[in-house]
């Protein structure tokens, strides 16, 4: 395979200006910005994108996703057409880890109600027993890949008692106990924070639903930085309404943008962010570094980094 020209799809503008990525790559390869929903891919060997378009099946040899999640891409069809798919796994750990730390601090130090009070010009200190510190609180991180490890590092730095869930059950530095998915309920049962950092696959769709919420403590804070459908959103609303959970911090949703009519907007103890946990001013450069690395691997006839298909 030879890559002499790369298209940057306009869909990356959700995260950063496509011009930034183009300019970071032009010294090693021909790069153009396109709208893959309208423009022909015939002149290009590869595309860097956030969205998926059917034209990718016929137009390019290599697709690079700027996200780690690739559930939108049709793996079987890509294999049949001989199209390579790589993702950006590994670049989001620090940003997402800091975002999760921010979520946990917001709940522990009662920053969310403070901000809401500020918008109403209200002086409303929390109740004497409402705020707490994170040290020694139990945090269960479901998914200990590169994303999860970024969260582990920040959680342990804040003094949390970290347990985790991963398919292999293999131990990980900073995680006191690692459970397998078969022991998910044991892992989440006594956790103040349950953080979701798993990919969306058949096994993780609605991983958190009615039974799981009933298993958690009634003051547990659910944090989702994985994919929206990992959580049964209707069951989550029900659990918060009846007091089965203490709250939630949600960066991803089953439908995005989150519809205006969603009850989640109204809950006092729900923190909503618009799928931006991994955002950083260096995002485009991190993606460019991965593309550069894989271009070098292609030239050397070596296996591509983060190859999915």
pLDDT score of 150 more than 90: yes
* pLDDT for the residue numbered 161: 98
Q: How far is CA 242 from CA 180, 222, 239, in A?
A: 29, 15, 5
Estimate the crossing angle of helix 283-299 against helix 18-25, to 10 degrees.
40
The C-alpha torsion from 264 through 265 and 268 to 270, rounded to 10°, is: 60
* pLDDT for the residue numbered 170: 97
Which residue matches tokens 């398919």?
Answer: 167
Q: 9, 64 in Cβ contact below 8 A?
A: no
DSSP string, 251-277: S--SSSSPPTT-GGGG-TTEEE--S-T
Q: Average pLDDT of 142-149?
A: 96
> What average pLDDT is seen over the chain?
97
| Per-residue model confidence as pLDDT tens digits over 254-288 | 999 999 999 999 999 999 999 999 999 999 999 99
Q: How many CB atoms lie within 10 A of CB 305?
A: 16
| Per-residue model confidence as pLDDT tens digits over 106-129 | 999 999 999 999 999 999 999 999
| Per-residue model confidence as pLDDT tens digits over 49-62 | 999 999 999 889 99
Q: How far is CA 239 from CA 137, 218, 242, 246, in A?
A: 22, 9, 5, 9
Q: Is 170 helix (H, G, I), strand (E, B) or coil?
A: coil
pLDDT score of 41 more than 90: yes
Catalytically active residues, by annotation: 227, 256, 275
Phi, psi at 54, each rounded to 5°:
-55, -30
Handedness of CA 303, 307, 308, 309 (dihedral sign): negative
* pLDDT for the residue numbered 233: 98
pLDDT score of 33 more than 90: yes
Looking at residue 308, the DSSP 8-state letter turns out to be: -
* pLDDT for the residue numbered 58: 87
Please report the beta strands in 152-216, taking only residues with DSSP state E, as ranges in sequence order.
161-165, 177-179, 193-196
* Alpha carbon distance 248, 243 (integer Å): 12
| Per-residue model confidence as pLDDT tens digits over 194-215 | 999 999 999 999 999 999 999 9
* pLDDT for the residue numbered 54: 94
| CB-based contacts of 304, cutoff 8 Å, min separation 6 | 62, 84, 86, 294, 297, 298
Q: 50, 15 in Cβ contact below 8 A?
A: yes
Q: Of 196, 217, 220, 200, which is closest to residue 208 (Cα–Cα)?
A: 196
* Alpha carbon distance 20, 205 (integer Å): 34
- CA angle 151/99/308 to nearest 5° reads 60
């Amino acid at each position: 395979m030879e890559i002499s020209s790369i298209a940057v799809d306009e869909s990356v503008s959700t995260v950063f200006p496509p011009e930034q990525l183009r300019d970071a790559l032009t010294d090693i390869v021909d790069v153009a910005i396109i709208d893959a929903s309208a423009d022909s891919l015939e002149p290009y060997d590869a595309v860097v994108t956030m969205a998926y378009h059917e034209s990718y099946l016929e137009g390019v040899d290599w697709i690079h996703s700027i996200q780690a999640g690739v559930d939108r891409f049709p793996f079987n069809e890509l294999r049949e057409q001989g199209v390579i798919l790589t993702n950006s796994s590994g670049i989001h750990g620090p940003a997402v880890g800091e975002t999760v730390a921010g979520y946990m601090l917001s709940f522990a130090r009662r920053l969310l109600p403070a901000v809401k009070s500020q918008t109403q010009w209200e002086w409303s200190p929390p109740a004497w027993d409402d705020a707490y510190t994170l040290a020694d609180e139990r945090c269960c991180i479901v998914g200990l890949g590169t994303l999860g490890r970024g969260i582990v590092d920040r959680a342990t730095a804040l003094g949390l008692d970290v347990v985790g869930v991963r398919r292999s059950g293999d131990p990980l530095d900073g995680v006191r106990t690692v459970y397998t998915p078969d022991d998910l309920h044991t892992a989440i049962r006594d956790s103040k924070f349950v953080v979701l950092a798993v990919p969306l696959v058949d096994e993780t769709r609605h991983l958190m639903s009615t039974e799981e919420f009933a298993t958690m403590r009634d003051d547990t804070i659910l944090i989702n930085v994985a994919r929206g459908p990992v959580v049964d959103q209707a069951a989550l609303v029900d659990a918060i309404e009846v007091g089965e959970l203490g709250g939630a911090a949600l960066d991803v949703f089953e439908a995005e943008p989150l519809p205006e009519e969603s009850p989640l907007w109204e809950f006092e103890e729900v923190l909503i962010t618009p799928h931006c946990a991994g955002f950083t001013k260096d995002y485009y450069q991190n993606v460019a570094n991965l593309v550069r690395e894989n271009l070098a691997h292609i030239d050397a006839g070596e296996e591509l980094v983060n190859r999915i298909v």
